[in-house]
Amino acid sequence: MAFSFTLEAQDSATEARAGRFTTAHGEVLTPVFLPVGTAGSVKTLTPDDVRAAGARILLANTYHLSLRPGAETVRRLGGLHRFMGWDGAILTDSGGFQVMSLSPLRRVNDGGVEFRSHLDGSKHLLTPERAIEIQDALDTDIAMSLDQLVEVPSTPEEIRESVDRTLTWAARGLAARGRLREEGRGAMALFGINQGSADPAERRRCFQGLGPLPFDGFALGGLWVGEGRTLGIEMVEHDCRMFPKERPRYLMGVGHPVDVIESIARGIDLFDCVLPTRNARRGTVFTATGRLVVKNAAYAYDERPLDPDCDCYTCRTFTRAYMRHLFSVGELLAMRLASLHAVHHMLRLVQRARAAIVEGGFARFRTDVLERFRSGDTLAPTGP
Amino acid sequence: MAFSFTLEAQDSATEARAGRFTTAHGEVLTPVFLPVGTAGSVKTLTPDDVRAAGARILLANTYHLSLRPGAETVRRLGGLHRFMGWDGAILTDSGGFQVMSLSPLRRVNDGGVEFRSHLDGSKHLLTPERAIEIQDALDTDIAMSLDQLVEVPSTPEEIRESVDRTLTWAARGLAARGRLREEGRGAMALFGINQGSADPAERRRCFQGLGPLPFDGFALGGLWVGEGRTLGIEMVEHDCRMFPKERPRYLMGVGHPVDVIESIARGIDLFDCVLPTRNARRGTVFTATGRLVVKNAAYAYDERPLDPDCDCYTCRTFTRAYMRHLFSVGELLAMRLASLHAVHHMLRLVQRARAAIVEGGFARFRTDVLERFRSGDTLAPTGP
């Protein structure tokens, strides 16, 4: 089934929008948060858990899967959906971000990125064409075009160069998918990634090249990498003004509840982030009223759930006292139960945002959610 | 509700028997295998998982829980059932075994065991009375009397001394429960533990003292600690001949499928063991046809489930190739999925044994299960 995106509602007071897209693995309502299944599992959770939490689309990492078990292995085993037992949609990244953040040694030139695996030092070459081939082998529903990132801060020349390269690579990625389609493969959607760091002029120049290309959606790259929330949100606003209304907009790697709400208000449709689940595995979870460090000894007698506003299995079943105990003794169940809450919490947040947009009450919803998140209510420990 | 045990069927060809016992937290059919929830969780699994696998009773460790979070903390939080969200029955051990195996420093005298915590070196005293008080604070359904273990090998004097002490401590534990009952507490059942290492005469002498005491059941202690399977099974046969038919018989710390079947054949009703789940977390699981080391690279393309004979969630959903991948990349989900299979497999084994006893076909069942377990069928990897 061909990828298609439909806008269903547009908030009148903000740029927030509700939509849906269809993939060969089902329909996805937007705004949406993608739990991250880095190496073919959303850490500690089963596909059933993730589906029960409301997820209909996951992100998987091309870098990790192409190193282990290898894209060809996944293809031979029937593709990533079958391999990991997930029948919903999958979006894969291009691998570029992980190459830059994880590989101990890499060299970028016009051809692509040569890098060494962070696992065994083996040498690999990631080109725009190879990124597409790998993602096709994984049988993804939505692939991302290989882009070039720059660090923060970077010089204007570095930013300019990365924009130029991102544009060349975008065209090469599309061409690669075109060739796959001639062979009856490459059915996946393909999103282009806008770059230009936190420089509005460069982001504009990048999108002038990217916008006319036949991408199925557009992503905002190079943000939330150290430039700060205010500047990040400004860039979101800036990019969303340029992006066409009729294509989905994906803010990569952003998952703090405040950032998600503020970015939805500016017109973002998709988010993914490891932050909520990574924090959860370390004993800290987002709740409706803020960040709860449940592993703290202060919660040893607190009989409330992690988040009294939440109806996930963890919050319906266990106390903070028990969760604190599990973290304190190093039980793996702690990470699993906290991760379940984390995924559920993010999905409920975007679902509620969507409902508010559809009902015309998003502005009020946004104020209420942000006020409550900043309130810290229910976070003070109870007990002796 | 008072503890009661009913025998329902006795195999004609072996000593195998089917029964049931009632507790304040439900009824349990025997023979039964108890998953181990050491520190208040069956590692990686939720109470729902364990119940769905068929468990109606768990074991929890007095030693671990009394150190963290502390028996008084558990009591204040409503007891262990409420604390860990488990509404089935709970059996606790006396703590004696872990003191001997985990504590870096301990001194045993007639009063009890002085030991240092393996966590922080703090000093503790475990007496027969304290063992009962702790288990009562945990709100257990079945408590174990404090016994004294000896190592293998031990001298005849050491074995004799441990039997003497075990008998004195047994009477003191019963008296301690009696005093609790006068205060309206101590509702739990209490099992006595037979000792005497692998010396039949000493085990007999121990039970001559233990048997007349008003214990609700009897356990076989000091076995499977290095004496070897043949001798262990001999001692099981020996003890079961002495034990009264109308009380449940508990073989502590035994969980290899072959040992379980052979011990059921000799009249054992209860088993517990960390072996199946500990192995599982390390990438090895028992299947109907033997031990599968699924983490081995040889299974990288094997699309069969861990155990083609098994109907657990893991086996219904995932391939060996996927499981091997998860272990290979260190995903926590691997441990969870393998643990789920492990618990399910043991519970199905005892359930099937029970059905065979009730239907009068246990001898045939035993032969079939052992032959199939030793066959190694389906263990050879498939794929390129």
What pLDDT sits at residue A317? Answer: 98
Question: Do A142 and A186 form a contact (C-beta atoms < 8 A)?
Answer: no
Over the stretch A215-245, which tens digit does the pLDDT of each residue have?
999 999 999 999 999 999 999 999 999 999 9
Question: Which residue type is seen at B98?
Answer: Q
Q: How far apart are CA A6 and CA A131, in angstroms?
A: 27
Over the stretch A141-176, which tens digit does the pLDDT of each residue have?
999 999 998 988 999 999 999 999 999 999 999 999
Q: How far apart are CA B339 and CA B336, in angstroms?
A: 5
CA distances from B161 to B27, B98, B102, B147, B202 (A): 37, 20, 22, 11, 10
Of residues A43, A76, A337, nearest to B332 (C-beta): A43
- Closest chain A residue to the Cα of B301, Cα to Cα: A77
What pLDDT sits at residue B1? Answer: 62
**Interface ipTM:** 0.97
* Residue A122 pLDDT greater than 80, yes or no: yes
Contact A331 B40 (CB under 8 A): yes
Whether B86 and chain A come into contact, CB under 8 Å, resolves to no
* Residue A384 pLDDT greater than 90, yes or no: no
What pLDDT sits at residue B383? Answer: 78
A272 labelled catalytic: yes
* Chain B environment of A44 (Cβ under 8 Å): 332-333, 336
DSSP sequence for B180-213 = HHHTT---SEEEEEE--TT-HHHHHHHHHHHTTS
Q: Sheet of B26-30: strands edge to edge? A: B4-10, B17-23, B26-30
* Chain A environment of B84 (Cβ under 8 Å): 322
Contact A326 B41 (CB under 8 A): yes
Q: Which residues pair with B270 in a beta bridge?
A: B32, B250
Number of neighbours of residue B228 by Cβ within 10 angstroms: 11
Single pTM value for the model? 0.98
Q: Which residues contact B213 (CB under 8 A, 6 or more apart)?
A: B170, B171, B174, B192
Between these two residues, B139 and B383, which has the higher pLDDT value?
B139
Indicate the Cα dihedral angle A176, A179, A184, A189, nearest 10°: 30
* Inter-chain contacts counted by CB atoms under 8 A, chains A and B: 108
* Residue B103 pLDDT greater than 90, yes or no: no
Ramachandran angles phi, psi of A198, nearest 5°: -100, 30
CA distances from B8 to B188, B277, B354, B371 (A): 23, 30, 10, 27
What pLDDT sits at residue B105? Answer: 86
B 271-310: CB under 8 A from A: 300-301, 303
What pLDDT sits at residue B151? Answer: 87
Q: How far apart are CA B340 and CA A336, in angstroms?
A: 14
DSSP sequence for B356-369 = HHHHT-HHHHHHHH
Whether A30 and chain B come into contact, CB under 8 Å, resolves to no
Contact A84 B331 (CB under 8 A): no
Give the mean pLDDT of chain A: 97
Whether B119 and chain A come into contact, CB under 8 Å, resolves to no
Query: How far B275 CA lies from chain A's nearest CA (Å)?
Result: 17
* Chain B environment of A317 (Cβ under 8 Å): 46-48, 85
Contact A325 B68 (CB under 8 A): yes
Of residues B318, B325, B332, nearest to A44 (C-beta): B332
Query: How far A122 CA lies from chain B's nearest CA (Å)?
Result: 16
Question: Do B28 and B41 form a contact (C-beta atoms < 8 A)?
Answer: no
* Chain B environment of A84 (Cβ under 8 Å): 322
Whether A138 and chain B come into contact, CB under 8 Å, resolves to no
* Residue B55 pLDDT greater than 80, yes or no: yes
Contact B328 A77 (CB under 8 A): no
DSSP sequence for A230-258 = HHHHHHHHHHHHHS-TTS-EEETT---HH
Question: E strand or H helix at B108, and its extent?
Answer: strand B106-108
Over the stretch A68-82, which tens digit does the pLDDT of each residue have?
999 999 999 999 999
Question: E strand or H helix at A164, and its extent?
Answer: helix A156-182
What is the SS3 assignment for B115?
Answer: strand
SS (H, E, C) B245-263: CCCCEEECCCCCHHHHHHH
Q: How far apart are CA A21 and CA A29, in angstroms?
A: 7
Among A98-112, A337-351, B172-186, B362-376, the minimum mean pLDDT is found in A98-112
Q: Which residues contact A339 (CB under 8 A, 6 or more apart)?
A: A42, A43, A44, A45, A277, A280, A281
What is the SS3 assignment for B80?
Answer: helix
Residue A302 DSSP class: -
Contact A77 B303 (CB under 8 A): yes
What pLDDT sits at residue A195? Answer: 97
Q: Crossing angle, helix A362-375 and helix A257-264, to 10 degrees?
A: 160
- Of residues A136, A216, A272, A302, which has the active-site annotation? A272
Q: How far apart are CA A21 and CA A189, in angstroms?
A: 11
Over the stretch A359-383, which tens digit does the pLDDT of each residue have?
999 999 999 999 999 999 999 999 7
Residue that is written with structure tokens 């004799």 in the block: B160
Q: How far apart are CA B365 and CA B51, in angstroms?
A: 25
Q: Active-site positions of B?
A: 93, 272
- Closest chain A residue to the Cα of B38, Cα to Cα: A331
Over the stretch B254-285, which tens digit does the pLDDT of each residue have?
999 999 999 999 999 999 999 999 999 999 99
Contact A322 B84 (CB under 8 A): yes
DSSP sequence for A170-222 = HHHHHHHHHHHHHTT---SEEEEEE--TT-HHHHHHHHHHHTTS--SEEEE-S
What pLDDT sits at residue A1? Answer: 62
Whether B65 and chain A come into contact, CB under 8 Å, resolves to no
Q: How confident is the model at residue A44 (pLDDT cuts 50, 70, 90)?
A: very high
Question: Do B254 and B271 form a contact (C-beta atoms < 8 A)?
Answer: yes
* Chain A environment of B39 (Cβ under 8 Å): 325, 329, 331
A 306-335: CB under 8 A from B: 313, 317-319, 321-322, 325-326, 328-329, 331-333, 335
